[in-house]
Amino acid sequence: MRAPTFTKRTLISAFDHTRTMSTMSTATESNAAKAFFRQPFYAKDGKTKLPQYVAHRGFNKIYPENTLSAFQAAIDVGCHGIETDVQISRDGVVVISHDFTLTRCFGIDKKINECDWEYLSTLRTIREPREKMIRLSDFLEFISAKGRDHIWVLLDIKRNNPANVIIKKIAETFKSGPYSSQPWHLRIVLGCWAPTYFPVCKEHLPSFQPVLIGYNIVAARKALRTLPEVSFNTHFTSIKGPLGYGFVDAVHRNKNIKKEPSDGKLVFGWTINKTRDIRWAIRKNLDVVLTDDPAVYKQISDVWDDVYSERHEEEDNKMTLRERLYLTFWNLWFVFFGWVFPLLYPYLQRFLVEKPAVKTNVKGSSART
């Protein structure tokens, strides 16, 4: 399967954390391309490039995840981007939610694809301050507002939604507005959990950059060889564990690809919250750090220089036997699960993937054909 083709200009504006729009509009193509691939800011030493930091489901350390309050808090603390998740309601509305059920966040024993938007819009989070669920269109309106056009988005397309259904609905949402001062394909990255989603993305959203999300580092290395123009959002334990050795460098240099390397491949790491892990991610040159607590990342980036790095490097590299076994176990488990899950997925689809629904007289109920 051939990966979709994207140019180096696809996400220039999204990853270039400049607020001077006039400068960007008059930049030459070569300068703009360079601006996209450089890190958006440097440490105080003026030479160390730092990863961009992205709020995982917003600033969910202090606010309910995937809510407007969490997103605003992420912007206030200086995040370069926001990661958020999409599901689809029974009546075809793309909504912002990580889970395909309402239980954990809203305390309702229902699946999102069993409910119409009219019902979902009445719900409030269990966690204070009690926030409402929002649609993708609401989120786009939020980030298109004045003063937020420097924010880019990693849109996690959950695999429990049929690719041809949800990606088409996402495309329709982008086309119907609201609109951004920059085209959405310059600000939004499509996060997909399987390469099978990429052709559907190319069909409905051909200008958007894809990112392969996953736990399995072996599968990621395979994708590095077969999908040379796709970036990676990989679980942090997989990158840091023994099977992840050299992965970041391999992605940046494309040394596993037997042809001319393509520029601009990125490595995102999720979810990185501990101070020592953030410092490790900076030293290993990750491009993006996804975190639940971006304030911690900002504190580290504000003081980062060679002296600070050297002072903590020995401490950060020390790992107990228990920690090493932990990383090794999860590396192997993710590989095993990544091998078993595709075999089981056809059977799991009956529980996870949206099924045809019939209209009912009870709002939000779940009668099926």
Within a domain: residue 123? no
* pTM of structure: 0.83
Full residue range of the structural domain in which residue 176 is found: 40-85+137-352
Of 17-21, 127-131, 219-223, 251-255, give the range with the top mean pLDDT. Answer: 127-131
pLDDT greater than 60 at residue 179: yes
pLDDT at 46: 83
- The helix (run of H) or strand (run of E) holding residue 315 is helix 306-317
Within a domain: residue 17? no
Q: What is the mean pLDDT of residues 41-48?
A: 84
Within a domain: residue 130? no
In whole angstroms, give the CA distance from residue 190 to residue 196. 13
Within a domain: residue 273? yes
pLDDT at 200: 97
pLDDT greater than 60 at residue 27: no
pLDDT at 31: 30
pLDDT greater than 50 at residue 113: yes
131 Cβ neighbours under 8 A, 6+ residues apart: 63, 64, 67, 68, 69, 124, 125
pLDDT at 265: 85
Within a domain: residue 270? yes
- Structural domain count, the chain: 1
pLDDT greater than 70 at residue 255: no
Cα atoms in the 13 Å half-sphere on the side-chain side of 132 = 11
**Cα-based distances in Å from 75 to 58, 68, 299:** 9, 11, 15
Within a domain: residue 146? yes
**Cα-based distances in Å from 364 to 53, 111, 118:** 37, 10, 8
Cα atoms in the 13 Å half-sphere on the side-chain side of 192 = 25
Angle 56-301-84 from CA coordinates, rounded to 5°: 10
Within a domain: residue 314? yes
45 Cβ neighbours under 8 A, 6+ residues apart: 304, 305, 306
Phi, psi of 105 (to 5 degrees): -90, -30
Question: In this predicted model, what pLDDT tens digit does every residue of 211-244 receive, in sequence order?
Answer: 999 999 999 999 998 987 789 999 999 999 999 9
pLDDT at 47: 82
Lowest mean pLDDT of 44-48, 70-74, 159-163, 286-290, name the range.
44-48
Percent of the chain clearing pLDDT 90 (strictly above)? 66
Query: Is the separation of the CB atoms in 39 and 49 below 8 Å?
Result: yes
Within a domain: residue 281? yes
CATH of the domain at 194: 3.20.20.190
